[in-house]
Amino acid sequence: MLFYSEFQQTYLWLPLAGFIIGMIASMIGSGGGFFFPILLILFFQVPAHIAVATSLAASLPLCIAGTAGHYRSGNINLRLGLIFGAAGVFGALSGAFFTRLMQPATLRIVFGVYSVALALIIFYTSTKDRKEKTESDHPEKTATGRIAKSSVFGYVGGAISGTFGTSGAAPIIAGLFALKTPVKKVAGTSLMVVLINTLAAFTGHFLLGEVDLTLVLMLTTGSVLGALLGPRLLVAIQPEKSENLIRRVFAIIIIISGILLIIN
């Protein structure tokens, strides 16, 4: 169900927040959906179910703009992205159904636990040597093994997207690295998969939940501009040199947000 909430002065911060999230998300291959629910729940006291569905709607324009920018920059492995995305559709629809079975408070706590776990995983992986992940672009020994691995990571990413209203980018990015995809291709291909997952998850939530169009419009005003800028900045910099630092800062923000979701 679509509805418009009453405008509040605090909503004027949403375009700026959307711009920052959109720019960073498009650079790291995420749809920004991870931070949208946190932003809405913690700072604007939006009920968890509405925040999940609304964040998916707000993420769609960001994902479209970011994917288009990465495609123009040649940062997308189209074939690999379609395999991930096809599996992600099933995960996203099942996740959207699962969300409706939880109470808002339970959903917020589960989301917080997921956030903390994700941050710990990012910390762990950032301590490993990245050389083997970035210097090799060799495929799996068999096409069947490559497709199977892509499908598993794609399904998990879609399920996370559908359940929490987030991008579900973490397992997608992990899967792309596991398949020896170069860093810039990881960002672009991941965002393409996130777009497919977000569209599928939003379809499920649109039929089962509530979407606040006032919040969607305020967020997307800034996030689309940020998503268009992100891929251009990625081309201009060398992300390989500072990727571990970026990951750790990203993880710190996530773990703080997760703890706040659990204790509030």
Instruction: Say if 252 falls within a structural domain.
Output: no
**Predicted pLDDT of residue 177:** 75
Mean pLDDT across the stretch 221-245? 70
The least confident of 82-91, 137-146, 227-236 is 137-146
Q: Is the pLDDT of residue 141 over 60?
A: no
Instruction: Say if 259 falls within a structural domain.
Output: no
**Predicted pLDDT of residue 247:** 64
Residue found under tokens 């006291």: 45
- 193 close to 81: Cβ distance less than 8 angstroms: yes
**Predicted pLDDT of residue 134:** 44
Q: Is the pLDDT of residue 112 over 70?
A: yes
Count other Cβ atoms within 10 Å, centred on residue 81. 26
211 DSSP β-pair partners:
2
| Residues ≥6 apart with Cβ < 8 Å to 228 | 26, 65, 66, 69
Report the C-alpha gap between 150 and 171 in whole angstroms: 10
The least confident of 30-34, 84-88, 108-112 is 30-34
Instruction: Say if 249 falls within a structural domain.
Output: no
Q: How confident is the model at residue 132 (pLDDT cuts 50, 70, 90)?
A: very low
Residue 182 amino acid letter = P
Largest CA distance in the chain: 57
Instruction: Say if 160 falls within a structural domain.
Output: yes
**Predicted pLDDT of residue 241:** 55
Q: Residue 92, SS3?
A: helix
- 231 close to 238: Cβ distance less than 8 angstroms: no
Mean pLDDT across the stretch 72-80? 87
**Predicted pLDDT of residue 137:** 45
Question: Which structural domain, as residue segments, surrounds residue 137?
Answer: 2-112+129-239
Instruction: Say if 154 falls within a structural domain.
Output: yes
**Predicted pLDDT of residue 225:** 85
Q: Is the pLDDT of residue 24 over 60?
A: yes
212 DSSP β-pair partners:
3
Q: Is the pLDDT of residue 222 over 50?
A: yes
* 54-63, 143-152, 155-164, 212-221, range with greatest mean pLDDT: 212-221
**Predicted pLDDT of residue 16:** 92
Q: Is the pLDDT of residue 111 over 80?
A: no
- 218 close to 18: Cβ distance less than 8 angstroms: yes
Sign of CA dihedral 8, 17, 156, 115: negative
Mean pLDDT across the stretch 157-183? 76
127 vs 14, higher pLDDT? 14
Mean pLDDT across the stretch 127-146? 53
Report the C-alpha gap between 47 and 28 in whole angstroms: 28
Please provide residue 182's backbone torsions phi and psi, each rounded to the nearest 5 degrees. Answer: -60, 155
The least confident of 83-87, 104-108, 259-263 is 104-108
The runs of H, that is alpha helices, within 45-168 are 48-72, 78-99, 104-126, 131-134, 143-164
Instruction: Say if 95 falls within a structural domain.
Output: yes
Sign of CA dihedral 12, 253, 48, 28: positive
Number of domains in the chain: 1
Sign of CA dihedral 66, 69, 75, 77: positive
CA-closest candidate to residue 148, choices 201, 205, 212, 83:
83
Instruction: Say if 118 falls within a structural domain.
Output: no
| Residues ≥6 apart with Cβ < 8 Å to 187 | 26, 27, 28, 29, 70, 75, 231, 234, 239
153 vs 196, higher pLDDT? 196
Instruction: Say if 246 falls within a structural domain.
Output: no
CA-closest candidate to residue 220, choices 202, 232, 193, 233:
202
